[in-house]
Amino acid sequence: MAKHYYTVTWDQLHRDAKALAWRLHEKGPWTGIVAVTRGGLIPAAIIARELECRLIESVSIVTYDEENRGEPVVTKHPVAAGDGTGFLIVDDLVDSGATAKVVRHLLPKAHFATVYAKPAGKAQVDTFITEVSQDTWILFPWDTEPQFIAPLARKP
């Protein structure tokens, strides 16, 4: 169980993904983007728009069940990306680096970028925007919905 939770809003995610696109723009041009599903789909769409990249591929890797981490399992390979030459891999977060290692094995010549990175996995990616502590669970906007929360003073 995480010690800390960090909520990312849609606006913040968009700003952070666009900031990542700014960093990646000078490293291109890119032949295509490989989105790591599911978390990388929305950042990849934002980055694809900013970089005017039309070839979007995906790789599906199942690692988490809620907050429980298991062994990564590839459920869809990124066939169109070949060995990754000229491709940009985009994910929302690198945590332990386990998923990133699998993707790097599949696409050894691609450039790997994430919006957020934790210390244990950040060495697995080439570019990221924001580092968060290892004991923080990021609540992405697609995993949450707005609701009333009682003020801290009301909690026991």
Q: Active-site residues: which are they?
A: 91-92, 95
15 to 43, 50, 92, 125: CA distances (angstroms) = 10, 12, 13, 20
- Rounded Cα distance, 3 and 91, in Å: 23
Q: Which two tokens stand for residue 27?
A: 């490293």
**β strands within 49-144, DSSP E:** 56-65, 68-76, 87-94, 111-117, 127-131, 136-139
